[in-house]
Amino acid sequence: MIKIIEYFKRLKENFLRRKEVIKESRERFYSQCKEGIFNFFKPYLTSRGFYLELENKEGLMDYLSEKKSGKTIESKIESKSRYLDETTQKKINEYTKPVYNAFGRMLNYFSELKKEMGKYDSLSFVYRPSINGYDVETYGNKFNLRFG
């Protein structure tokens, strides 16, 4: 009986810990969106990702014209995590490593193609593990990159 009580106590603690992690994640997302170019966008966190909408066009245009002289990729994907515990980080990496590699490949494709992209109004980057290599399709003003 004591074991059962302990089990449910632990379950509750872990549930509360997960809720706390989710809350912290939300706060970190909104504070991250106040940095760099996304400072001019209104951020929304959704169940399957996020969504950003331009809020301050004048500010964005000033920001871009100031940056134009040293135009380059603004920031790289951070590999450093806030979790210091190696074991937890290792477990998390099992989930995120393939995705992390995919983001790296996407940035490489983007670097190769970005000069052409200014003429398009809509860009899509689709990652599907089953695709071998990458494939670019354009329809009018739409640019679509699919890769695996």
**Among positions 5, 31, 68, 132, the unique one binding other proteins when judged by CB under 8 A:** 68
DSSP-assigned states of every residue in 77-129: PP---S---HHHHHHHHHHHHHHHHHHHHHHHHHHHHHHHHTT-SEEEEEE-T
**Among positions 5, 57, 132, 139, the unique one binding other proteins when judged by CB under 8 A:** 57
**Among positions 59, 108, 112, 123, the unique one binding other proteins when judged by CB under 8 A:** 123
Residue 77 binding other proteins, by CB under 8 A: yes
**Among positions 34, 59, 62, 74, the unique one binding other proteins when judged by CB under 8 A:** 74
Residue 87 binding other proteins, by CB under 8 A: yes
Contacts of 92 (CB under 8 A, 6+ apart): 81, 83
Residue 5 binding other proteins, by CB under 8 A: no
Residue 30 binding other proteins, by CB under 8 A: no
- φ/ψ of 120, rounded to 5, equals -95, 155
Identify the helix (H) or strand (E) that includes residue 24. Answer: helix 2-32
* Tokens linked to 126: 């689709």
What residues from 89 to 108 belong to the interface with other proteins (CB under 8 A)?
91-92, 95-96, 98-100, 102-103, 106-107
**Among positions 34, 62, 88, 138, the unique one binding other proteins when judged by CB under 8 A:** 88
How is residue 69 annotated by DSSP?
G
